[in-house]
Structure 1
Amino acid sequence: MTLASITQAVVLAAGLGTRLKPITDTMPKPLVPVAGKPMIDYGLDALADAGVTRTVVNVHHFADRMEAHLAAYPRLEITVSDERAGLMNSGGGLKKGLALLDPGIVYVMNADLFWIGEKSGSPTNLQRLAGYFDPEMMDMALLCVPLDHTTGHNGKKDFQLDADGRLARYVDGERPLVYAGAIVLHSALLDDAPDDAFNLNIYFDKAIEKGRLFGIVMDGEWITVGTPEALPLAEAVIKRHSGKV
């Protein structure tokens, strides 16, 4: 697979952002500015940089504002998956979004997680993930980050990686990994999924049981802004990487 061969993506952006109140009382979480840039734009830029041309983004909270922002975003053809009538959770939102794209291999990204500090002149994290994914032996390939390269994270240890690149839920080991919010999968994986709300973690666990959940470790620093207190921490990391401090 060539590094830029994945041209479609689904971005999950419909959450309520309740832990980020009171900021999210007046705006959707994906539009909260981090170092002067809406949170979702970090992910959209990463997709565009990796060669994506078509993206579906689901919306719910302040949906009109999300639609207006996405319509003005210049680098991708964006289709909105409307969840105004009811949230579909991560799995249901993904299945609904995939129906708006052509069948095939896609990126899946969370709108409120992003990274900075990739190595200049090298393939991006998403391009590396695309090149790594092998649908013959993998249900999904996940981008992961070592716990000590996260900012704003609650400390939860998600996965551990074996020598063959397979992921399992974290039990022990010196290098706990956090799910970095990016997946490569074939859309057919969700063909048998329910049409109502469900959590995508169900599919993570199914893939682990079959030995078909794989992952790579990302380059750079990973940032999540789940609470108001995490915002200045995130901006400090971004400033440090941009050479402003």
Structure 2
Amino acid sequence: MTTKAPITQAMVLAAGLGTRLRPITDTMPKPLVPVAGKPMIDYGLDALADAGVTRAVVNVHHFADRMEAHLAAYPRLDIVVSDERDQLMNSGGGLKKGLSLLSAGIVFVMNADLFWIGETPGKSTNLQRLAGFFDPAAMDMALLCVQLEHTTGHNGKKDFQLDSNGRLSRYVDGDNPVVYAGAIVMQSSLLLDAPDDAFNLNIYFDKAIEKGRLYGLVMDGEWITVGTPDALPAAEAVIARHTEKA
């Protein structure tokens, strides 16, 4: 199951308020909070560029002017801003609005505040593997997932159960729980029937599960989320360990 060409388009969800990260986010947007000296969003933007993406839409709301300035200076991608200053659209509404600024086709979707480090040098990156895994005939969405023991800063919640065929269901019980790692491959047409106002993307996860069309791929490396200020030292310690190894 491989795509015929690299995926060159992406949507990055970056418009959240980051309220749990206060007081840091009282003075800056969450995606620009530095983790080990690098703005959080740049980990994801770099991963997209490394995977062959050339054009990305990023939605903005909180400290939108600062986000726009940062994105305009980011060197590796052609970035288009989806402006949500007037109304936050939640994950699903923000994605639908952003996809309208891209060409129809297969796209990556990324969360701006979740990232990973420690991929195996010389092997395909996590996003390249996810692109190759995605089969539009069988899947509505392919989600990058991570096992709990490879997470830092996570609250321990098990999001999905991954079966032996790679199919995902909501976690109730089972021996292969995984956490959603914040990256998706999907056809942009999936959201053509979606409402134009705010809604949560989880609705489409559940629709895909009902049809047996939500699939997951376990990522390589260590996954990091920084939800609160006290999560920063742990995140930076993991990054430092991997930097020393490299």
SS of alignment partner, residue 242 of structure 1:
helix
The equivalences for 1:182-197 within 5 A come to: 182-197=183-198
TM-score if structure 2 supplies the norm length? 0.98
Corresponding residue for residue 33 of structure 2: 32
Shift of 1:176: 1.6
Corresponding residue for residue 84 of structure 1: 85
Does residue 95 of structure 2 align to residue 101 of structure 1?
A: no
Q: Matched residues in 1 for 2:42 and 2:68: separation? A: 13
CA contact under 8 A between 1:3 and 1:127: conserved in structure 2? Answer: no
Q: Matched residues in 2 for 1:122 and 1:238: separation? A: 20
Cα deviation, 1:17-55, whole Å, max 9, x if unaligned, reads 000000000000000000000000000000000000000
Q: Matched residues in 2 for 1:157 and 1:64: separation? A: 36
Shift of 1:174: 2.8
**Overall identity of the aligned pairs, in %:** 83
Shift of 1:175: 2.9
> How many matched pairs?
245
Corresponding residue for residue 173 of structure 2: 172
Structure 2 runs not aligned, ≥5 long:
none
Shift of 1:173: 2.1
Corresponding residue for residue 62 of structure 1: 63
Corresponding residue for residue 113 of structure 1: 114
Shift of 1:2: 4.7
Q: Matched residues in 2 for 1:210 and 1:176: separation? A: 20
Does residue 230 of structure 2 align to residue 224 of structure 1?
A: no
Q: Matched residues in 2 for 1:92 and 1:2: separation? A: 27
Q: Matched residues in 2 for 1:5 and 1:239: separation? A: 31
SS of alignment partner, residue 141 of structure 1:
strand
**Amino acid aligned to 2:142:** A
TM-score if structure 1 supplies the norm length? 0.98
Corresponding residue for residue 19 of structure 1: 20
Q: Matched residues in 2 for 1:195 and 1:152: separation? A: 33
Q: Matched residues in 2 for 1:233 and 1:244: separation? A: 17
**Amino acid aligned to 1:134:** D
Change (3 A) 1:2 1:230: same
SS of alignment partner, residue 215 of structure 1:
strand
CA contact under 8 A between 2:163 and 2:176: conserved in structure 1? Answer: no
CA contact under 8 A between 1:14 and 1:60: conserved in structure 2? Answer: yes
Shift of 1:171: 1.2
Question: Which 4+ runs in 1 deviate beyond 6 A?
Answer: none
Q: Matched residues in 1 for 2:22 and 2:4: separation? A: 39
Shift of 1:88: 0.1
Q: Matched residues in 1 for 2:189 and 2:12: separation? A: 17
Q: Matched residues in 2 for 1:218 and 1:187: separation? A: 23
**Amino acid aligned to 2:186:** L
Shift of 1:60: 0.1
SS of alignment partner, residue 137 of structure 2:
coil
Corresponding residue for residue 123 of structure 1: 124
CA contact under 8 A between 1:4 and 1:50: conserved in structure 2? Answer: no
Structure 1 runs not aligned, ≥5 long:
none
**Amino acid aligned to 1:22:** P
**Amino acid aligned to 2:135:** D
Shift of 1:3: 7.9
